Amino acid sequence: MKLKKNLMLSFLCIILMNTQCSDDDVTILTDCSEVIIDNNAYETAESDYYSVVNIVFNGDCLTLDLSASGCDGNTWEFTLIDSGNIAESMPPQRYLKLSLFNNEACLAVFSREESFDLTPLRVDGTNEVLLNIEGFEEPILYAY
C-alpha cells in the first residue's frame, strides 16, 4: 500500500513538472525609459548637475545609479537623448546626452536609479555599438 502511494505521488510530481511554462513563454517586463533620437533635442539639451555612481546593463536596459542634490529625488526628470548620428567605425559609435531637470531646491544629496531601453540604438549589420555619453569619461560598449 505504501509503495502504491509513493508511486502515485511520484507520478503526480512528474505530471506537474511537465506542465510548467517553457522559457519561450516567459515575457520579462522592464521598466526602462525610452531613448529620444532627435538631433535638435540633442543639440539644445541642457542639464542640471548630477554624478554617475554606477552603470549596469540589464539585458537591453542601461541602468544608471545617479546622484544629485535635492529634497528627495522623486521629481527628477532624466532624459537620454541620441544625436541620431552614427560614426561608421568598428564598432559603430553613437553620441548621447543625459539630461536632468531638477526643480528641487534642497541641499541634501540623494541617489536614484534610472533605466533606459537601448534597443532603438542598435545598428544593422553589427551586434555591438559604442555609446559616447557626454560627460562620461569612457564610452560604454552595448553588445546585443
CATH number at residue 49: 2.60.40.2370
| Residue 8 falls inside a structural domain | no
| Residue 96 falls inside a structural domain | yes
* Confidence at residue 19, expressed as pLDDT on a 0 to 100 scale: 47
| Residue 109 falls inside a structural domain | yes
Residue ranges of the chain with per-residue pLDDT less than 50: 3-9, 11-13, 15-19, 21-29
* Confidence at residue 102, expressed as pLDDT on a 0 to 100 scale: 96
When divided into structural domains, the chain yields a total of 1
Q: What is the pTM of this model?
A: 0.75
Q: How far apart are CA 76 and CA 64, in angstroms?
A: 14
| Residue 36 falls inside a structural domain | yes
Inter-residue contact 43 to 84 (CB < 8 Å) = no
| Residue 14 falls inside a structural domain | no
| Residue 10 falls inside a structural domain | no
Dihedral angle computed from the Cα positions of residues 132, 137, 139 and 143, in that order, rounded to the nearest 10 degrees: -120
| Residue 16 falls inside a structural domain | no
Of 52, 72, 18, nearest in space to 135 by CA: 52
Which cell is 127 given?
551586434
* Confidence at residue 31, expressed as pLDDT on a 0 to 100 scale: 85
Name the β-bridge partners of 10.
Answer: none
The parent domain of residue 51 ranges over: 25-143
Name the β-bridge partners of 112.
Answer: 66
| Residue 6 falls inside a structural domain | no
* Confidence at residue 82, expressed as pLDDT on a 0 to 100 scale: 98
Q: Which long-range contacts (CB under 8 A, 24 or more apart) does 26-29 make?
A: 28/59
The DSSP 8-state label assigned to residue 53 in this structure reads E
